[in-house]
Amino acid sequence: MLEFTLNRRTLSVAADPGTPLLWVLRDTLKLYGTKYGCGRALCGACTVHVDGAPVRACVLPIESVAGRSVTTIEGIGNGELHPLQAAWIDADVPQCGYCQSGQIMSAAALLATNANPGDADIDTAMRGNLCRCGTYDRIRRAIKDASVRLRDDAAAALDETGETGA
Amino acid sequence: MSSLNRRQFMQTGGAVALTVVIGAPPRAAYADDAAGPNAYLRIEADGRITAILPTSEMGQGTHTGQLMILGEELGVDPAAIRVEMPLRPSDPYRLSFGQMRSVGSFGIRSWYEPLRKAAAQARTVLLAAASERWGIPANELTALDGHVVQKNGDRRLGFGELVEAAAALPLSDDPPLRPDSERHITGHPVPRVDTPAKVDGTAVFGTDVDVPGMLHGAVRMSPVFGAEVAGFDEDSVAGFPGVAAVVPVPNGVVVVADTWWRAKRAADALDIRFTDTANDSLSSVELSKAMLDGLAGEVPPVMRRGEAAARLRDSAKTVEATYEVPFLTHVCMEPLVCTAHTREDDVELWMPTQGHDIVRMTVERVLGFANERMTLHTTYLGGGFGRKTHGEIAEQAMLASRAAGRPVKVMWAREDDVQQGYYRPIMTARLRGGLDADGRIAAMHIQLSGPQMGQTFEHVTVRNNTDFFSVASLVDQPYTEHFALDHRHLDVPMPLSPWRAVSSSQNGYFLEAFLDELAEAAGQDPVEFRRAHYASHPRHLAVLDRVAAMSKWEQPLPEGHHRGVAVVASYGSVVAQAVTLRMEGGKPVVQQVHVAIDCGRAINPDSVEAQMQGSVIEGLAAALRHEVPIADGRAQRRNFDDYAPLRIDEAPAIAVEVVETGAPLGGVGEPGIPPLAPALVNALFSATGKRVRRLPVAEQQS
């Protein structure tokens, strides 16, 4: 049995050594939001966070997440919509939608380290995520929109703190 | 609609909501068979409204568009309508050629009238029921937000409260339709109903089906096209954990295990041998030569219009060029997948399919079960592009389930998806054009040599040496009344498929790249040259003028930038595109694509924009670098490393405008593809002075 944290809950699973995290998520734990696209870390459809960093679950052996914290699309909003998910809805980003979990996970990792990403930052963070339907223009728009929302939220939180302190 | 069905409607009014689908995950669009008031709509006593839609949602927003059509006519917010799909094909859901399929950019243009009429039928009986109850003439009532309301008064009743009375009324075959002044939903951007489920991971694609007791299947198929299994050693995977069965299927096996990963590991390790074939040494070089040889001598004629031969002979100037396009594959982000539960007397399937009747025919052929003994749950498609029209994945899943005695979900690995075909055909075209003394096109003769696309489908007949697929966007070329078209068929062992805009994407490239060669020979600007030929083609002219204005065609470009244009009519729409690029290290960097589309009327303008954006991204990747070369009878591509869709840092800026000329509704999913390749190579000619007569572009530069 192997223990790790998944979307803030600790659990233990049994799996053959070397089984990629993707198949434990999908076939063992029945969390289907994370997708298979290539099996070789070429398309990003399986992107999840391990300790906050974006990784390709299709090539990550399950034993390497032992004791670590995994977040999937099901957990990214922590029970609510993540600002990126809200921005994704407003821009009507998805077409077929299959790659979008991975897109949002990569974008979330970008915004966690860069509150105001420019086009070049977005290119660098997102170039590992293929979208066969070609939604890139709207992905770019939604990431910028979400970054504004996050900064507005942060500013509002600061204001509140200021008022409380006054 | 018969009275029997209406009685069923009354009796099952509330009960249908109790339909239990085993293992149905949240938000799946699994349908019940109960009908009423007609095949496309069910309104229940609790006010719930359900649409039973005839096409799959594979990314184009077709479900939202269809709900907009229904909602507008019925008088309800499209987002308030639940979506289901029928559990098996039947006539109300079939296209004019007699099959239920989500193909050909028909989703809106073919279903607009039937859905509008269905909603008008329902609205009419709801108004009549309220009229009777209140003693107020029906023309003083209207339907709004799921209620019947009095126009100049305060009477108001929800649809649900009127359902029982409305169900007893006869449905009109010719119900009054809302006037244009009441069309306040179609024509306006409406958010897609499937978006929320596609951003939180709850949307159920074919890969995500989860049926109790389900096992998983991975495939091992012949790498050589046309080969069959000669034998395999089941003992070679005996020690593999979780393996339940090794099941022979056409040209391969399915290995069944308790997880897909275990099934895949065993499938890769299986000791299997395939038969020798006549294709074992087949190569792209050989196929290209065979197509070129096919153009020697007289090529079987397809059509003759005017006096093409004589006018070509008498032209002031003639231009001739030979073009070629490679096999292309679809690489849907979701690979082929199907879950099947084959039982003694029936079969249940869960799959992302574009070809409901093809699945039905596959069930009939493989299991001998008639349509009524098949239950087909349609999931969201993680892309289709024509690839998910076929039945082989259903056959594999049905056979695997029958052997395992349990439901089995068979999924292909990416490598299977790239290497097992159903490709867009290869094709070679020789084009001859004559110019008259005024520099106008006097005549054209186009000769195709390559496989007929339609050979894949039973219902497509070959007439005049070709099938209607293969000559799309050529038979109706807008440039000359003096036109000859030939086609030499070539048999190939690879299965062929529709591919987004399939033959229009090939023929549009041939014709519109060649048009620039003619313009050059005439000493004219490519836009001016086309304009001069569009006098009797106002839609072509309208989109060309719009794209010329959008791209500021008349103004000079910055140093080092180059531009090309193309206009192609396909699937009932006309699209013009202008590509702007610059060269960097000998390679093109596409910076901007301007798109103008005349699709008659944009039902959801936001979806039209999305489809044009997506078409540019796909068309660009295909033209720049996609091909599936063949060597030793096998595909020489395998995954996204050697067959890479465009990435975000390669995506150009894309501007889209809709032009409405009063034409009938046209398609939207496919028509954005064909102009891209010719506009690109026309821009490249401006940059390099070289014509790109064989795709992909990358091959010319290596």
Is B652 strand, coil or helix? Answer: coil
B345-404 pLDDT, tens per residue?
999 999 999 999 999 999 999 999 999 999 999 999 999 999 999 999 999 999 999 999
Q: What is the pLDDT of residue B700?
A: 66
Give B153's pLDDT tier (boundaries 50, 70, 90): very high
Q: What is the pLDDT of residue A158?
A: 79
Peptide bond into B558 cis (omega under 30): no
Q: Which DSSP state fits B178? A: P
Please give the ipTM for the structure prediction.
Answer: 0.96
Nearest Cα of chain A lies from the Cα of B641 at a distance, in angstroms, of: 7
Q: For residue B560, count other CB atoms closer than 10 A to its CB.
A: 10
Sheet holding A47-50, edge to edge: A9-13, A2-6, A69-71, A47-50, A53-56
Q: What is the pLDDT of residue B23?
A: 22
Q: What is the pLDDT of residue B457?
A: 74
- With a cut of 70, say whether residue B12 has pLDDT above it: no
Residues B98-124: b if buried by 16+ CB within 10 A, e if exposed: ebbbbbbbbbbbbbbebbbbbbbbbbb
Phi, psi of B174 (to 5 degrees): -135, 65
Q: What is the pLDDT of residue A163?
A: 53
The mean pLDDT of B608-625, rounded to a whole number, is 98
Q: What is the pLDDT of residue A156?
A: 84
Cα B623 off chain centre by: 18
Closest CA to B448 of B294, B313, B678: B294
B296-307 pLDDT, tens per residue?
999 999 999 999
Q: Are B431 and B240 in contact (CB under 8 A)?
A: no
Q: Give the β-pairing of A9-13 and B408-411.
A: unpaired
Residues B52-77: b if buried by 16+ CB within 10 A, e if exposed: bbbbbbbbbbbbbbbbbbbbbbbbbe
Which of A153-162, B167-176, B494-503 shows the lowest per-residue confidence on average (mean pLDDT)?
A: A153-162
Q: What is the pLDDT of residue B223?
A: 97
Q: Which DSSP state fits B140? A: G
Q: What is the pLDDT of residue B9?
A: 29
Beta-carbon separation of A34 and B200 below 8 A = no
Give B33's pLDDT tier (boundaries 50, 70, 90): very low
Q: What is the pLDDT of residue B36?
A: 52
B531-551 pLDDT, tens per residue?
999 999 999 999 999 999 999
Distance set, CA A64 to CA A5, A12, A121, B261, B342 (Å): 12, 14, 28, 17, 39
Find chain A residues with C-beta within 8 A of B208's C-beta.
Answer: 32
Looking at every residue in chain B, the average pLDDT score rounds to 93
B204-226 pLDDT, tens per residue?
999 999 999 999 999 999 999 99
Which residues in chain A come in under a pLDDT of 70?
161-166
Beta-carbon separation of B261 and A23 below 8 A = yes
B35-84 pLDDT, tens per residue?
456 799 999 999 999 999 999 999 999 999 999 999 999 999 999 999 99
Report the residue of chain A nearest B383, measured CA to CA. A96
Q: Is B523 exposed, middle or buried (0-12, 13-18, 19+ CB in 10 A)?
A: exposed
Q: Are A141 and A122 in contact (CB under 8 A)?
A: no
CA dihedral B683, B685, B688, B694 (to 10 degrees): 110
Please list the alpha-helical segments (H only) found in B350-477: 356-367, 392-404, 414-419
Nearest Cα of chain A lies from the Cα of B59 at a distance, in angstroms, of: 3
Return all residues near B238 (Cβ < 8 A) that are at least 6 apart.
Answer: none
Looking up tokens 């390669």 gives B650
Beta-carbon separation of B618 and A132 below 8 A = yes
A141-165 pLDDT, tens per residue?
999 999 999 988 888 887 776 654 4
B78-111 pLDDT, tens per residue?
999 999 999 999 999 999 989 999 999 999 999 9
Nearest Cα of chain B lies from the Cα of A8 at a distance, in angstroms, of: 17
- What is the reported pTM? 0.94
Distance set, CA B688 to CA A29, B619, B691, B701 (Å): 55, 21, 8, 11
Q: What is the pLDDT of residue B465?
A: 84
For B311-423, list the strands marked E by DSSP.
317-325, 337-342, 347-351, 374-378, 408-411
CB < 8 Å from A in window 288-347 of B: 331-335
Looking up tokens 């915004």 gives A111
Q: What is the pLDDT of residue B687?
A: 97
Distance in angstroms (rounded) separating the CA atoms of residues B257 and B498: 33
Q: What is the pLDDT of residue B609?
A: 98
Total beta-carbon pairs less than 8 A apart between chain A and chain B: 178
Closest CA to B656 of B564, B593, B600, B604: B593
Phi, psi of B26 (to 5 degrees): -60, 145
